[in-house]
């Protein structure tokens, strides 16, 4: 009521009224100014955090890619001397000479294969001498024999190392007569 009639108001009341009006006008303005600032700060923090996690993820992928791109070195172990075995072919006596080389990416598996050379040689001599000439005289039969030899070596290495360890077995020479 008094606020509508300025002539009746005292100086003190007018000053209080003006101060109240200024406060009510400046408070929302201050809030309005703080809100965009606060939103900007929050957005900046979110972007910075997202950028950090994106960079960390990118670095992890790059590290995994480097590990996959740099494979372990292939290690070879030639089984010297070559294997020479006799086997029968219907009416005649034949012989087979096979040079074998083992390949692994695991140095421990190569060490185990070296230390068990007599056991591996015994298993391979038994395997080679029990072959049929008609089977191993073609490529498919030689591949089957190669797979059987690899399985025999892997079993021996796994019994001592706890994992197969040998990745491949190669016939570097294969002579039949």
- In this structure, what token pair is assigned to residue 12? 């003190």
Local structure of 164: helix, strand or coil: coil
pLDDT-derived band at 152, boundaries 50, 70, 90? very high
Identify the pLDDT of residue 44: 77
More confident residue, 71 or 176: 176
Q: What is the pLDDT of residues 101-148, one digit of tens each?
A: 999 999 999 999 999 999 999 999 999 998 888 888 899 999 999 999
pLDDT at 89 over 70: yes
Among the ranges given (7-16, 56-65, 86-95, 110-119), the one the predictor scored with the smallest mean pLDDT: 7-16
Dist CA 77 CA 101 (whole Å): 5
**Mean pLDDT (the chain, rounded):** 81
CA distances from 16 to 4, 24, 30 (A): 14, 12, 20
pLDDT-derived band at 63, boundaries 50, 70, 90? confident
Q: What is the pLDDT of residues 40-52, one digit of tens each?
A: 777 777 777 777 7
Identify the pLDDT of residue 60: 79
CA distances from 137 to 24, 133, 143 (A): 103, 6, 11
Among the ranges given (26-40, 107-121, 145-159), the one the predictor scored with the smallest mean pLDDT: 26-40
């Amino acid at each position: 009521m008094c606020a509508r009639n300025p002539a009746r108001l005292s100086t003190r009341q007018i000053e209080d009224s003006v101060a109240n009006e200024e406060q009510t006008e400046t408070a929302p303005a201050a809030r309005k100014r703080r809100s965009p600032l606060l939103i900007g700060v929050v957005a900046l923090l979110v972007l910075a955090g997202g950028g950090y996690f994106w960079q960390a993820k990118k670095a992890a992928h790059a590290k995994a890619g480097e590990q996959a791109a740099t494979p372990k070195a292939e290690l070879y172990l030639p089984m010297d001397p070559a294997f020479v075995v006799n086997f029968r072919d219907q009416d005649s006596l034949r012989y087979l000479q096979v040079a074998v080389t083992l390949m692994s990416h695991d140095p421990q598996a190569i060490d185990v294969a070296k230390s068990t050379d007599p056991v591996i040689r015994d298993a391979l001599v038994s395997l080679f001498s029990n072959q049929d000439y008609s089977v191993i005289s073609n490529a498919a039969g030689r591949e089957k024999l190669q797979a059987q030899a690899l399985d025999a070596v892997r079993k021996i290495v796994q019994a001592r190392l706890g994992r197969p360890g040998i990745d491949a077995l190669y016939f570097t020479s294969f002579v039949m007569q």
